[in-house]
A = this chain, B = another copy of it.
C-alpha cells in the first residue's frame, strides 16, 4: 500500500515563476498584440562564446571516433576539470585539492541535494528573502512544519533588510545549517569578508555548517569583496560552497556546476570529519556525472581565452544592470544591488505590495519583474529586476517604464 511523502503537502502552493507566467499570459490574452518586456527571470540570453563553442564541438567530435569515445566518467567529474577549478581557486589565494571539488549538472540540484547528507532533525537557517530551492528542499526532507503567515514553522528566517545592507544578523537561536548566498539572489547584496567572518566564527563556535551559494561570484568587480567564502579565514573548517557555469559562461541550459566540500570541515560528534566522503558517497550512489560533452565546454571556459570571453559576457549583462538601475533611479525609485550582482532589488513606492506593483508594472509599462514576496516574507514591498536580457529589450523596457509608469 504505497503512500506519498506527506512533506510535499506542506509546500506553499504556487511556485513563484509559474504564477508570473500565468499572470503574464492572462495580460496577453486581454491585450493581444501587446509587446511584453521581461526583466523577471535570471535566464541568460547571449550566445556562447567562440572558445566555449569550440570546446563543446571537441566534446562531440571525441564521441564520434572509437579511439576517443568515452562512456561513464567519474561521478565526481573529469579529473582535468576538477584540477582546472582547483587552479582557478588557487589564483584567488584559496588552496583546494581536486578531490574536494565535485562537478555536477548545476548549482540548483546541488543546492537542493546538499541537505540530504545532514541529519533529518537539523535546524535550518535561511536568509529572508532567499532562493526558494533552499527552503523547498528542506520542506520536502521533513525539516519544517506547517506554512503559516508566509513562513514555515521550524525554519529559522534571518531577515535581510535595507538598514543592514541586506545582510543578516547572526541567528539568535541554535541552528545547524546556514544557507548564505552572495552575490545575493534576489537582493543583489554582496557580503564583505568581515560579514562572512562573523558567520564563520559563529559556525565554528557552534559546530554549524554554512552552505554558501556563490553562483553569481563572477559578477563581483570590486576586488575587496570575496568571490569565494574560502577567501575568508576559517571557512574550510565549516563551509560548503556551491557554484555554477550558468551565469558567467552562459550554461543555464547546458548544465554544469560544482560543489566544494573541504575535507577539513568539522561537524559535531564522532563522525566529525566525514562530510567530504559523505558527499562523495551521495554523488556516486545517486548521480552519474555531468555530461562529458558539457565538461569539455566547461574546461574551455576555464582557459585564458575562455575566461576573457566570459568576462565580456559578464560585462554585457552588467551594462544592462547599470541601465536598469539608473533608469529606475531617474524615476525616483529606491534601488539596491546591480553593481557587483546581476540583480536589482527595488523598493516599491508608497508601500505597494510586491504583487500589486508587479500587476501595475505589467499593465502600465508592459514590463515583467519578479515580486520580492515570492522569496520570503522580508521580500514584501520589493521587486527584483534581472540584468539578463538583450540590450535593446532592456533599453526598451527602461524607456517604457520611464514613459508609462504612473508613480
Interface residues of A (CB under 8 A from B): 1-6, 8-9, 11, 15, 41, 43-48, 53, 56-57, 60, 63-66, 69-73, 105-106, 108-109, 112-113, 116-120, 122, 133, 136-137, 140, 142, 174, 176-177, 206-209, 250, 252-255, 267-269, 271, 274-275, 278, 281-282, 284-294, 388, 390
Contact = CB atoms under 8 A, between A and B. Distances in A.
Given A69-B45, A282-B140, A288-B105, A56 B1 contact: no
Nearest to A247: B71
B6 A253 contact: no
B176 A3 contact: yes
Which secondary structure dominates where chain A touches chain B? loop
A288 B53 contact: no
Shortest 5 CB-CB contacts between residues of A and residues of B? A112-B286, A71-B252, A253-B292, A43-B71, A2-B209
A72 B253 CA distance: 4
Contacts of A174: 1
B46 A66 contact: yes
Nearest to A176: B2
Contacts of A140: 116, 282, 285-286
Nearest to A57: B60
Interface centre among A208, A255, A267 (most CB of B within 10 A): A255
10 contacts: A2-B267, A5-B117, A5-B278, A48-B63, A56-B60, A63-B250, A70-B253, A108-B288, A133-B285, A255-B290
B119 A5 contact: yes
A286 B71 contact: no
A205 to B, nearest CB: 10
Given A137-B286, A254-B292, 20 more contacts: A1-B206, A2-B177, A2-B268, A3-B118, A4-B267, A4-B269, A4-B271, A4-B274, A8-B117, A11-B281, A15-B284, A47-B66, A57-B60, A63-B254, A109-B287, A112-B285, A112-B287, A113-B286, A253-B292, A255-B289
